[in-house]
Amino acid sequence: MLPTFIDYLHQKGKLTPEELELIANAAVQKRVRKNQYLLEEGEVSNFVGFVVKAAIMAIPEISIIFFIV
């Protein structure tokens, strides 16, 4: 996973070897299996995800706002 991520970072900008090492040391690989979710309803993300290989179904968030007139 990490080489793919590092290659992606190289494409997006120039980072020093020290910066790449800091990112590599902080990165954690997480495997999400079929029917698992990255977040459940009501949870707030405290991470940034990078998908290496997957088939992802994105469901649009629907917000309904009621106005009292």
Measured in whole angstroms, the distance separating CA 18 from the mean position of its chain's CA atoms is 22
How many domains would you assign to the chain?
Answer: 1
- Mean pLDDT of the 35-43 span: 84
pTM higher than the cut 0.85 = no
Q: Which tens digit of pLDDT belongs to each residue from 10-35? A: 888 888 989 988 888 888 888 888 88
Kindly write down the DSSP assignment for every residue of 18-65, as one continuous string. HHHHHHHHH-------TT--SS-TT----S----SS------------
The vertex-5 CA angle with 37 and 20, nearest 5°, equals 125
Token code pair at residue 66: 């009621």
The parent domain of residue 1 ranges over 1-69
- Residue 69: the pLDDT is 46
For a pLDDT cut of 90, what percent of the chain falls above it?
A: 1
Contacts of 23 (CB under 8 A, 6+ apart): 6, 9, 15
